[in-house]
Amino acid sequence: MKKVGMVMLLFASLCCAQESGSFQPASTNVWGADYPRVDNAGRAEFRVKAPDATKVKLNFWSGPKLDMVKQPGGFWTVTTPPLVPGFHYYTLVIDGAEVADPKSHSFFGGGKDASAIEIPEAGSTYYSAQDVPHGQVREIWYNSTVTGTWRHALVYLPPNYDTQTKARYPVLYLQHGAGEDETGWIRQGHANFILDNLIAAGHSKPMILVMAYGYARRAGQPLPDLTGKPFGSPEMRQAMQEMVAAFEDDLTQVLVPYIDSNFRTTADRDHRAMAGLSMGGTQTFQVTFDHLDMFSYIGGFSGAVGVLGNQKFDVKTAFNGAMADPAAFAKRVHLLWLGVGTAEPLMMLAGITKLHDELSAADIQHVFYQSPGTAHEWQTWRRDLNDFAPRLFQQGAQ
């Protein structure tokens, strides 16, 4: 009976795909789910069963908010206009209650597990699984003396790591953004596939990726009470500074030594890089410029330092004058990389562009990359990594 039921489920899914013309189940669906589904134009069809509901809405976090229409049998459906290719978080709002779509996988974003749909980008294969050698993603737990807790990280090991036992590898520490966690670069960003494909094509050096949990609090430090404190308030800024400082110490004092002790790394600054998206970009600049004895490659994906309009940043005096002498800085930092999507929120786009202009005016050698047509989203950051990684560990190849 189990085999018969499985065959019937597969047959039903195939029939639905055929009936829908060019619409096919999304790659982000749970196994066997026929909805949501996507067509070649980037439109998406959604269906949910809620027979007792009086109103159902489809809520894209960074996109349309659409009323769904009730159909016979208690199903509610809607078809979106063409969506921007890439990864889109969404929820369903059923009679005012925001819920996940049971037919979609959930991903950690916005501080919670949420549904998401992948809209394929025509002709793009750089972030998808290809017929090339694949690396492995492993989970590690390490006991942090900074936080007094066990902490979790993901580690990507390049193809042949286990067979070429005498080879040693450079390391890229790759950070997530606010509201997400250390799983984001693999589950949402497909960083493992991006590196697999780059390495197979000979465009990138084989490297280890380390993706750490970006939130930290020192052992014994109480959780701050931010009740009623608006975003940007002095109390919130203070809490953020304390978190970044604790994360910086955890990464540099505990995690980096752990990685160097447990994996075959080339443990010096010339073979160590750090990058991050949004909040992770800000953390990257803080950590790397405070520890230029440890890092020589720096990347900010939609995040860096001094990128918001109300922040002051002086190239000559920032980070204890690390960039005061452009020639000395270029010898010390092999790559300084900035990226932003052209459709990002104006404050973010203007801030990073302004930082690029200030670095250029000060003769600070760097790379400025713009992702065409993408916003503060995973498609921007996938493209960022695809441009950033080939530049790593190849001195003078900017």
174: enclosing H helix or E strand: strand 171-175
Exposure class string for 42-58: b at 16+ Cβ within 10 A, else e: bbbbbbbebeebeebbb
At 233 the pLDDT is 74
At 386 the pLDDT is 98
List, in order, residues 6 or more apart from 330 with CB less than 8 Å away.
Answer: 364, 365
In a domain, 152, yes or no: yes
At 21 the pLDDT is 55
**Contact between 305 and 285 (Cβ < 8 Å):** yes
Could you give phi then psi for residue 199, rounded to 5 degrees?
-65, -45
- The domain in which residue 82 lies consists of 25-119
DSSP string across 178-217: TT--TTHHHHTT-HHHHHHHHHHTTSS---EEEEE-----
At 11 the pLDDT is 39
In a domain, 12, yes or no: no
Both structure tokens of 352: 């990073």
**Same domain assignment for residues 276 and 335:** yes
At 308 the pLDDT is 52
> What is the distance between the alpha carbons of residues 260 and 140, in angstroms, rounded to a whole number?
13
Other Cβ atoms closer than 10 A to 194: 23
Could you give phi then psi for residue 27, rounded to 5 degrees?
-70, -15
Both structure tokens of 296: 């020589």
At 243 the pLDDT is 85
Q: List the pLDDT tens digit at each of the 398 positions of the chain.
A: 444 443 334 434 444 443 445 899 999 999 999 999 999 999 999 999 999 999 999 999 877 899 999 999 999 999 999 998 999 999 999 999 999 999 999 999 989 999 999 999 988 899 999 999 999 999 999 999 999 999 999 999 999 999 999 999 999 999 999 999 999 999 999 999 999 999 999 999 999 999 999 999 999 888 776 677 676 677 777 777 888 899 999 999 999 999 999 999 999 999 999 999 999 999 999 999 999 999 999 999 998 876 554 556 788 888 989 999 999 999 999 999 999 999 999 989 999 999 999 999 999 999 999 999 999 999 999 999 999 999 999 974 44
**Same domain assignment for residues 312 and 205:** yes
| Distance between first and last Cα of the chain | 60
The CATH number of the domain where 156 resides is what?
Answer: 3.40.50.1820
Both structure tokens of 170: 């450079």
In a domain, 17, yes or no: no
Angstrom distances, CA of residue 259 to CA of 157, 197, 209, 265: 12, 24, 10, 8
In a domain, 245, yes or no: yes
- φ/ψ region of 110 (left if φ > 0, alpha if ψ in -120 to 50, else beta) reads left
**Same domain assignment for residues 164 and 310:** yes
At 224 the pLDDT is 74
At 242 the pLDDT is 85
**Same domain assignment for residues 88 and 176:** no
At 305 the pLDDT is 76
**Same domain assignment for residues 366 and 254:** yes
In a domain, 301, yes or no: yes
> What is the distance between the alpha carbons of residues 87 and 39, in angstroms, rounded to a whole number?
15
Cα 387–chain centre separation: 15
Residues forming beta bridges with residue 46, ordered by sequence position: 78
At 307 the pLDDT is 58
**Same domain assignment for residues 89 and 140:** no
**Same domain assignment for residues 352 and 311:** yes
Amino acid letter, 305: V
pTM of the model: 0.89
